[in-house]
Structure 1
């Protein structure tokens, strides 16, 4: 059941990241240029992932670090497959265009994003625990 729930949370990520990418392409790139837009979009995407993971982490019912890392690895795998299928087979991008997002020397930030994605369940568990201890999500607060 954890696997199915993790895929559902990943779908929420993809929707949020798709909106983030649309904002980057239509508003940030014309205003700031491609490199700066990608940098801002990367930060916003990371914050979105952390926020979504923090909201849903308790719902996943995974408490061990090994379980959390496995969830992060699943999210990484799903993301890479999604990027390839969308980029190559739906949008018709060349392999060079797809790989450029992963090339740090060309300004690609995707490797950092994928590492963050893998560790985000662990970070989200810590953030959620801190928020609950602070009383923001108390016994009558937000529950997912």
Structure 2
């Protein structure tokens, strides 16, 4: 198993970045303390949670997308977040990606964020992420609808 794959998707939510503090507070108050619980939430659940405080439904959906990517691929949350922000919204899109296009997309995001600093994934890394998406397709069949 790749060192980037997680063996336990039920791990608790880590401390989210400060920009997500309201979302973290709302999720914790609702008893949602794991990525797997977050991945299982429907849109109506996220709407209800966002109405209860300062958390936004859009940010909660982004976090749920990250949680679903993790559940479907076994990738760690940092990689799932990177892929989502690079424009890869789900495991199906990742599975359909070409390694060179993925390297280009993620590299472009990293250069934009870090003004040229930070490593760009190589083709081997991109292939391992795509393989993770292919291996998770069967698990994603049981995911609840939005």
- For the aligned pair, the TM-score class normalised by the smaller chain equals 0.3 to 0.5
TM-score, normalized by length of structure 1?
A: 0.33
More RCO (CA 8 Å, sep 6+): 1
TM-score normalised to the size of structure 2?
0.32
